[in-house]
C-alpha cells in the first residue's frame, strides 16, 4: 500500500521522468513519421529509472513507478502530434511548425486527456478490471527491480547497435543503403513484380514488440497492395489513366510500382481506415456508455467518505476548474483560425465532447490490447469526419479553412485520446504496486506538457533535414507521415479536394470484409485476430516497411517456441519476452535518436550529403541485408538465451 512514509513524487523522480519523457517523445516522433507506428515506453523507462536511482542512493518502487508514469507520456504525446499536426504542413496551411500553436494543441490536448481519464480509473481498473497488459508488465518489472543491471545492459547494447546502423545508412555515412529491393516487368511489360524491405533495425524491434499476429496482418495488407492490386492495375487499368500512364512511361519496374501505389492503390488503405474508425466506435458502444456512467457515478460519490491513499484521484472540483482553464485557450485558438464565433464555439464543443468520448474508447482499447496496439488513428479519423460534417454546414464545401479547422479539432482529440489510454495503463501498474492515483495523474500531466514543449523544434528539425509527407525535389525520400497524410486527404476531400473516391470506396469494401473475417474469428474464440486498422496500415504503407515488422514478429514467435510457451499462457509469454522487448526498445530508441542527431548537421549546413562518405566506400544492398540479418540474429539470441529471472529490468 502507498504509505505516507514511502517517497513517491520526489524532485529527483519528477526530474528524471521529464528528461526521459522528452527523449522518448523525440524518438517516437521520428519513428511515427518514418513507419506510422509508435511503441509504449513505460518498461524501458522503468528499467532506466531503477538504474539511475540506484546510482543516486537507491529509489523506492513507488518512485520508479512515478518515473515510468511521467516518461510514458513520451509515446502518447508523440503519437497525438505526429498523427495529425503534420497534416497542416501537407495542406500548405503552415510552412513550418509554429511553436506556440503546437504547444497549445499538444500540451492542452494532453492535459485534457489526463482529466478526462480520471473518472474512468475506478470502473476500468477497480470495479470491472480490464487486463491492461503493458500496465501489468510494467508492474512486474517494478516489483522485480532488485537487479536492474542486466536490463540496462541489454538496453545500452541494443541502442548502440540501432544508432550505429542508422549512422551507417543512407541518411548518414551511406556505407549501406536504407532499403533492399528487387523489381521487374513480366509478360512483355504487362506484369509487374516487386519485393523490398527497409533495412531498419527499429522496424525489426517494432515487429518483435507487436508480435507475430500483428506482423502477419500488416504484411498481408501490404501483399494485397503490392502483389495483387498494383500488378492488376498496371496490367488492366493503367491505360485508362493517361496522366499516370504518361508519368510512368519509360520508368523502371520499381518506380512504376511506387507511382501506381502513390497515385491510386494506397487509397484502398484510406477507405479501410475510414471503415475501421467507424467500426471501432460502433463495436465499443456498450462499453463506452458503461464507462461514462461509472465515471459520472464515481465523480458523484460523497466527499465525506473516507478514501484510502491508494484510491485518491485528483479532486473533481479542481478537475472542473482545470477543464475550463484549458478549454478557454483552445477556444481562442479556434477563433484565431476561423475569425467566426459561430464556428469556433461549435468547434470547441465538438472537441470537448469528442475528447471525453474518445478518451473513454482509447482507455478501453488500451485495457484490452495495450497502448502499442491502440488504434488512435481510427479514433481521430472518426473525429475529423464528424467535425467536417458539422463544419460543412457552417462554412460550406468550398471553405479554404474547413479542412484546417477539422484537423485542429482532430489534433486535440488525438492527443487527449493517446494520453488517456496511456494514463489508464500507468494507473493499472500503480494499482498493482500500491501507488497513489492522484500523484500518478499529476505526474502524467507534467510529463505530457514537458513533451509538448519540444515537439515543434523536433518536427522542424526533421522536416528541414528529411522532409515530411509527399516526396519533393528537395526531399525525394521524406519521412512519410502516413497518418498525417491520411488526415490531410480526408479533410481536404470533404472540402472540395479531389480524391480517388472509387479507390476509397473499394477500400471501404475491403475493410468491411476484413471486419467480417475478424468477427468470425472472434465468434470461434480464435487467438489469431485480424484488426482492421492494422490491415489498413499495411495496405496504406509501402511493402518495404511492413516486411521487417513481420520478420520481427516472426522472431518473437520463434523465441516463444524455444521457451515452449503455450498460446493460453499470456503471463509466461510476457516474462519470456521481457529481455527481447528491452532489446527491441533499445534498437528503436537508438536508431530514432541517431536519426535526430543526423538531422542536426543536415539542417545546419542545408546539405543532405554532409555526412556521406565517398562513393567508393558505399556497400551494396546485399551487405545492408546481411547487417539486418545479423541484428535479427542478435535479437533472437537475446530472447532465446536470457532467462526471465535474469532480466528483472
- List residues bridging with 186 in a β-sheet: 191
Q: Write down the mean pLDDT value for the chain.
A: 82
* Predicted confidence (pLDDT) at residue 365 exceeds the cutoff of 90: no
* Predicted confidence (pLDDT) at residue 643 exceeds the cutoff of 60: no
Q: Which of 208-212, 258-262, 507-511, 643-647 has the lowest mean pLDDT?
A: 643-647
Report the C-alpha gap between 518 and 462 in whole angstroms: 37
* Predicted confidence (pLDDT) at residue 302 exceeds the cutoff of 50: no
**Strand, coil or helix: 250:** coil
Joined grid coordinates for residue 422: 496511456
Report the C-alpha gap between 343 and 388 in whole angstroms: 12
Instruction: Give the model confidence (pLDDT) of 371-429 as tens digits.
Output: 665 667 767 877 887 888 888 888 888 888 888 988 988 899 889 888 888 888 888 88
DSSP assignment letter at 182: E
Categorize the per-residue pLDDT at 646 as very low, low, confident or very high, splitting at 50, 70 and 90: very low
Report the C-alpha gap between 213 and 230 in whole angstroms: 25
Residue 633: predicted pLDDT? 95
Closest of 602, 311, 604, 356 to residue 477, by C-alpha = 602
* Predicted confidence (pLDDT) at residue 253 exceeds the cutoff of 50: yes
Residue 151: predicted pLDDT? 75
Instruction: Give the model confidence (pLDDT) of 72-123 as tens digits.
Output: 887 789 888 998 999 999 988 999 999 999 999 999 999 999 888 887 787 7
The residue ranking higher by pLDDT, 300 or 74, is 74
What is the three-state SS of 500-526?
CHHHHHHHHHHHHHHHHHHHHHHHCCC
Report the C-alpha gap between 489 and 498 in whole angstroms: 9
**What are the boundaries of each domain within the chain?**
11-157+279-472, 186-277+497-585+615-646
Report the C-alpha gap between 78 and 102 in whole angstroms: 11
CA atoms within 13 A on the CB side of 581: 28
**Strand, coil or helix: 150:** helix
* Predicted confidence (pLDDT) at residue 435 exceeds the cutoff of 70: yes
Residue 128: predicted pLDDT? 67
**Strand, coil or helix: 433:** helix
Categorize the per-residue pLDDT at 300 as very low, low, confident or very high, splitting at 50, 70 and 90: low
Report the C-alpha gap between 507 and 536 in whole angstroms: 9
Closest of 586, 589, 575, 594 to residue 643, by C-alpha = 575
Maximum alpha-carbon separation in the chain: 82
Report the C-alpha gap between 165 and 549 in whole angstroms: 17
Categorize the per-residue pLDDT at 366 as very low, low, confident or very high, splitting at 50, 70 and 90: confident
The residue ranking higher by pLDDT, 612 or 1, is 612
Report the C-alpha gap between 484 and 82 in whole angstroms: 7
Percent pLDDT > 70 in the chain is 88
Instruction: Give the model confidence (pLDDT) of 309-360 as tens digits.
Output: 777 777 777 777 888 888 888 888 888 888 888 888 988 888 888 888 778 7
Whether this prediction's pTM lies above 0.85 is answered by no
Residue 378: predicted pLDDT? 67
Residue keyed to cell 502524467: 444
Categorize the per-residue pLDDT at 644 as very low, low, confident or very high, splitting at 50, 70 and 90: very low
Instruction: Give the model confidence (pLDDT) of 560-581 as tens digits.
Output: 888 887 776 667 777 788 788 8
DSSP 319-382: HHHHHHHHHHHHHHHHHHHH--HHHHHHHHHHHHHHHHHHHHHHHHHHHHH-GGG--HHHHHHH
- Exposure string of 348-379, with b = 16+ CB inside 10 Å and e = fewer, is bebbbebbbbbbbbbbbbbbebbbbbbbbbbb
Residue 288: predicted pLDDT? 59
* Predicted confidence (pLDDT) at residue 37 exceeds the cutoff of 60: yes
- List residues bridging with 197 in a β-sheet: 180
Report the C-alpha gap between 515 and 535 in whole angstroms: 10
Q: Is the dihedral of CA 565, 570, 576, 581 positive or negative?
A: positive
Residue 647: predicted pLDDT? 38
Instruction: Give the model confidence (pLDDT) of 489-531 as tens digits.
Output: 888 888 876 778 888 899 999 999 999 999 999 899 888 889 8
Residues in contact with 331: Cβ distance below 8 Å, sequence separation at least 6, in sequence order: 344, 345, 348
DSSP assignment letter at 198: E
Residue 421: predicted pLDDT? 83
- Exposure string of 459-487, with b = 16+ CB inside 10 Å and e = fewer, is bbbbbbbbbbbeeeeebeebbbbbbbbbb
Residue 447: predicted pLDDT? 92
Q: Are 322 and 111 in contact (CB under 8 A)?
A: yes
Q: Are 363 and 117 in contact (CB under 8 A)?
A: yes
Section 136-146 average pLDDT: 71
Report the C-alpha gap between 483 and 466 in whole angstroms: 17
Closest of 183, 192, 196 to residue 542, by C-alpha = 196
Q: Which of 261-265, 413-417, 452-456 has the lowest mean pLDDT?
A: 261-265
Amino acid at each position: 500500500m502507498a504509505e505516507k512514509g514511502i517517497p513517491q513524487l520526489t524532485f529527483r523522480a519528477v526530474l528524471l521522468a521529464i528528461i526521459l519523457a522528452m527523449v522518448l517523445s523525440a524518438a517516437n516522433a521520428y519513428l511515427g513519421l518514418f513507419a506510422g507506428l509508435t511503441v509504449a515506453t513505460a518498461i524501458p523507462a522503468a528499467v532506466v529509472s531503477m538504474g539511475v536511482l540506484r546510482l543516486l542512493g537507491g529509489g523506492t518502487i513507488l518512485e520508479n513507478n512515478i518515473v515510468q508514469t511521467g516518461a510514458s507520456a513520451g509515446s502518447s504525446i508523440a503519437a497525438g502530434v505526429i498523427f495529425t499536426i503534420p497534416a497542416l504542413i501537407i495542406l500548405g496551411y503552415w510552412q513550418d511548425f509554429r511553436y506556440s500553436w503546437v504547444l497549445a494543441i499538444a500540451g492542452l490536448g494532453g492535459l485534457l486527456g489526463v482529466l478526462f481519464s480520471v473518472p474512468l480509473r475506478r470502473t476500468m481498473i477497480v470495479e470491472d478490471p480490464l487486463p491492461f497488459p503493458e500496465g501489468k508488465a510494467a508492474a512486474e518489472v517494478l516489483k522485480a527491480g532488485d537487479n536492474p543491471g542486466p536490463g540496462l545492459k541489454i538496453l545500452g547494447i541494443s541502442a548502440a547497435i540501432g544508432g550505429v546502423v542508422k549512422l551507417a545508412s543512407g541518411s548518414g555515412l551511406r556505407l549501406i543503403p536504407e532499403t533492399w529491393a528487387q523489381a521487374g516487368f513480366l509478360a512483355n511489360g504487362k506484369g509487374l513484380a516487386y519485393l523490398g524491405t527497409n533495412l531498419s533495425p527499429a522496424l525489426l524491434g517494432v515487429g518483435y514488440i507487436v508480435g507475430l499476429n500483428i506482423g502477419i496482418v500488416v504484411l498481408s495488407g501490404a501483399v494485397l497492395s503490392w502483389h495483387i492490386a498494383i500488378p492488376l492495375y498496371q496490367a488492366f487499368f493503367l491505360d485508362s489513366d493517361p496522366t499516370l500512364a504518361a508519368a510512368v512511361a519509360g520508368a523502371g519496374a520499381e518506380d512504376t510500382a511506387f507511382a501506381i501505389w502513390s497515385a491510386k492503390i494506397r487509397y484502398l488503405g484510406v477507405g479501410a481506415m475510414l471503415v475501421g474508425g467507424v467500426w471501432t466506435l460502433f463495436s465499443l458502444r456498450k462499453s463506452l456508455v458503461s464507462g461514462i456512467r461509472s465515471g459520472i457515478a464515481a465523480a458523484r460519490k460523497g466527499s465525506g467518505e473516507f478514501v484510502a491513499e491508494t484510491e485518491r484521484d485528483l479532486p473533481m472540483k479542481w478537475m472542473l476548474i482545470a477543464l475550463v482553464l484549458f478549454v478557454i485557450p483552445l477556444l481562442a485558438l479556434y477563433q484565431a483560425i476561423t475569425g467566426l464565433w459561430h464556428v469556433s464555439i461549435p468547434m470547441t464543443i465538438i472537441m470537448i465532447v469528442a475528447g471525453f468520448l474518445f478518451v473513454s474508447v482509447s482507455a478501453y482499447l488500451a485495457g484490452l490490447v495495450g497502448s502499442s496496439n491502440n488504434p488512435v488513428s481510427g479514433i481521430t479519423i472518426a473525429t475529423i469526419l464528424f467535425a467536417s460534417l458539422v463544419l460543412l454546414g457552417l462554412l460550406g464545401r468550398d471553405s479554404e479553412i474547413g479542412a484546417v479547422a477539422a484537423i485542429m479539432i482532430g489534433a486535440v482529440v488525438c492527443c487527449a485520446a493517446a494520453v488517456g489510454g496511456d494514463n489508464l495503463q500507468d494507473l493499472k501498474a500503480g494499482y498493482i504496486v500500491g501507488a497513489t492515483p492522484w500523484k500518478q495523474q499529476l505526474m502524467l500531466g507534467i510529463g505530457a506538457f514537458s513533451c509538448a514543449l519540444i515537439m515543434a523544434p523536433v518536427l522542424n528539425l526533421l522536416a528541414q533535414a528529411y522532409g515530411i509527407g509527399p516526396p519533393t525535389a528537395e526531399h525525394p525520400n521524406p519521412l512519410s507521415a502516413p497518418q498525417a497524410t491520411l488526415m490531410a486527404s480526408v479533410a481536404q476531400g470533404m472540402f472540395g479536394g479531389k480524391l480517388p473516391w472509387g479507390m476509397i470506396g473499394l477500400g471501404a469494401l475491403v475493410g468491411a470484409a476484413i471486419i467480417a473475417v475478424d468477427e468470425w474469428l472472434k465468434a470461434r474464440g480464435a487467438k489469431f485476430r485480424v484488426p482492421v486498422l492494422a490491415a489498413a496500415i499495411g495496405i496504406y504503407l509501402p511493402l518495404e516497411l511492413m516486411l521487417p515488422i513481420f520478420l520481427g514478429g516472426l522472431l518473437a514467435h520463434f523465441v516463444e517456441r524455444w521457451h515452449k510457451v503455450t498460446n493460453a499462457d499470456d503471463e509466461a509469454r510476457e516474462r519470456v519476452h521481457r529481455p527481447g522487448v528491452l532489446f527491441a526498445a533499445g534498437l528503436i530508441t537508438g536508431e530514432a535518436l541517431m536519426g535526430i542527431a543526423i538531422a542536426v548537421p543536415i539542417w545546419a549546413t542545408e546539405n543532405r550529403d554532409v555526412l556521406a562518405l565517398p562513393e567508393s566506400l558505399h556497400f551494396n544492398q546485399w551487405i545492408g541485408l546481411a547487417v539486418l540479418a545479423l541484428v535479427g540474429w542478435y535479437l533472437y539470441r537475446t530472447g532465446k538465451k536470457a532467462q526471465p529471472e535474469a532480466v528483472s529490468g
